[in-house]
């Protein structure tokens, strides 16, 4: 698989599959976070500096194969032009004669309309893939967040283009995720949180083979604790996953650490009275890891050389149940370990704790990161490797 820097882009028309699936305010006209657009800038700017004309393509939302003006990429074209300091032309569609008539010259940028306005995109239709491939001389995939989808723009069209390579963001994601899952510096540690064991079964199974320890937090911890026969009160539990939790704990042995104290409340609402307990009463629910667990986890984290973290330790979005997650973020930042944080709530936690700069890599791909950590092959990456 060639790198972007190994390609000759001068005078070439370069198709870059980006992840511009940005959050929009109701009505679809106002971008509420341009983080994903900014993440793609290094690849876009590099290709422009090398004398390429750029065709940028992305999905936005779930229009289900129909044109929906509230999911148009038009606001993205406006914001991207501001960030690049140069015009960004907006195509009326992503394939067809009108688009082909607008193809960019060197130094120009064309943003295609939402790929998912066509049902053929998600169906990975070969005819649609060929139409997209006709738009370029070189294909670059920089959309790690969509690499776990076998769609026309992420996988199908790669077979029909002359040259294909990953973008700079994709390269960085693969480098860090590979670093922590293949021969990590030891001790290697995974921290897993979130609501459900079922969301992370494959991740837990795979990381148990790789990591020296797994620290469990979030609501998923209560499924494990109940499987051990401990009282969990009204805490969120996946009753149908208790047997699975037992088998995972049996396979993990002392590798798997569970919370030893909890921040509880009778219900989850603003201003509710909370308490710290080691045994959860029947009328209370566990909503965060307690101070003893935070201290124990921080001690283990301090000794690690490699850390993977995905998922919060409690109901992070509702103080005071954010303290466990913030404490873990601070411990990871202070550890000096090579650290990879999976997106979503974990990313918000490192930001809230003010330690983003001390994390080695914050992943941009939620589902894609999880599948990679589960040891699954990502179709968008596999297609590039086959070239």
CATH number at residue 64: 3.40.50.1260
**145: annotated active-site residue:** no
Residues 114 and 97 placed together within one structural domain of the fold: yes
Residues 295 and 185 placed together within one structural domain of the fold: yes
Residues 147 and 255 placed together within one structural domain of the fold: no
* Distance, C-alpha 352 to centroid of its chain: 18
Beta-bridge partners for 163: 138
Question: How many whole angstroms separate alpha carbon 336 and alpha carbon 56?
Answer: 37
Q: Which pLDDT score is estimated for 343?
A: 64
**344: annotated active-site residue:** yes
The reported pTM is 0.89
Q: Are 156 and 124 in contact (CB under 8 A)?
A: yes
* Residue-number span of the structural domain to which 199 is assigned: 174-373
Residues 209 and 153 placed together within one structural domain of the fold: no
Residues 148 and 28 placed together within one structural domain of the fold: yes
Residue 383, domain member (yes or no): no
Residues 159 and 187 placed together within one structural domain of the fold: no
Boundary (domain end) residue, out of 102, 131, 166: 166
Residues 232 and 119 placed together within one structural domain of the fold: no
Task: Given the residues 50, 123, 196, 318, select the one marked as catalytic.
Answer: 196
Question: How many whole angstroms separate alpha carbon 381 and alpha carbon 22?
Answer: 22
Task: Given the residues 12, 13, 17, 36, select the one marked as catalytic.
Answer: 36
Residue 98, domain member (yes or no): yes
Boundary (domain end) residue, out of 166, 200, 222: 166
Number of domains in the chain: 2
Residues 264 and 313 placed together within one structural domain of the fold: yes
Q: Are 215 and 254 in contact (CB under 8 A)?
A: no
Task: Given the residues 286, 344, 365, 380, select the one marked as catalytic.
Answer: 344
Residues 283 and 228 placed together within one structural domain of the fold: yes
At 55, give phi and psi (nearest 5°): -110, 115
At 342, give phi and psi (nearest 5°): -75, 150
Residue 68, domain member (yes or no): yes
Boundary (domain end) residue, out of 137, 166, 195: 166
**27: annotated active-site residue:** no
Residues 60 and 116 placed together within one structural domain of the fold: yes
Q: What is the mean pLDDT for each group of 10 consecutive residues in the chain (387 residues)? A: 95 98 88 93 98 98 95 97 98 97 98 98 98 98 96 98 97 94 95 88 93 96 96 95 94 96 93 94 97 98 96 91 94 95 79 90 87 93 93
**36: annotated active-site residue:** yes
């Amino acid at each position: 698989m060639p790198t972007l820097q190994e390609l000759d882009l001068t005078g070439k028309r370069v198709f870059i599959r980006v992840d511009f699936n940005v959050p929009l305010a109701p009505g679809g006209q106002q971008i509420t976070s341009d983080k994903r657009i900014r993440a793609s800038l290094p690849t876009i700017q590099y290709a422009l500096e090398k004398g390429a004309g750029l065709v940028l393509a992305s999905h936005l939302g779930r229009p289900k194969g129909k044109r929906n003006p509230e999911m148009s990429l038009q606001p993205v074209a406006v914001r991207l032009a501001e960030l690049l300091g140069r015009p960004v032309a907006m195509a009326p569609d992503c394939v067809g004669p009108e688009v082909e008539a607008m193809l960019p010259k060197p130094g120009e940028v064309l943003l295609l309309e939402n790929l998912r306005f066509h049902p053929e995109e998600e169906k990975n239709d070969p005819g649609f893939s060929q139409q997209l491939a006709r738009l370029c001389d070189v294909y670059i995939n920089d959309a790690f967040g969509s690499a776990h989808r076998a769609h026309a723009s992420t996988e199908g069209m790669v077979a029909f283009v002359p040259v294909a390579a990953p973008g700079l963001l994709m390269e960085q994601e693969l480098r860090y995720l590979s670093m922590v899952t293949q021969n990590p510096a030891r001790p290697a540690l995974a921290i897993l949180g979130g609501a459900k064991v079922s969301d992370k079964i494959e991740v837990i199974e795979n990381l148990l083979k790789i990591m020296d320890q797994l620290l469990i937090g979030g609501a998923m911890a209560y499924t494990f604790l109940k499987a051990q026969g401990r009282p969990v009160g009204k805490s969120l539990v996946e009753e149908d996953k208790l047997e699975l939790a037992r088998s995972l704990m049996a396979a993990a042995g002392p590798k798997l650490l569970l919370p030893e104290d909890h921040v509880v409340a009778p219900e989850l609402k603003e201003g509710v009275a909370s308490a710290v307990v080691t045994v959860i009463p029947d009328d209370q629910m566990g909503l965060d890891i307690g101070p003893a667990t935070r201290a124990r986890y921080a001690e283990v984290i301090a000794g690690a050389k490699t850390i993977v973290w995905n998922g919060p330790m409690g109901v992070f979005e509702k103080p005071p149940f954010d303290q466990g997650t913030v404490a873990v973020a601070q411990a990871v930042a202070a550890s000096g370990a090579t650290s990879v944080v999976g997106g979503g709530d974990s990313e918000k936690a490192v930001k809230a704790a003010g330690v983003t700069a001390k994390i080695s890599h914050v992943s941009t791909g939620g589902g894609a990161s999880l599948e990679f950590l589960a040891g699954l092959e990502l179709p968008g990456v596999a297609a590039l490797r086959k070239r």
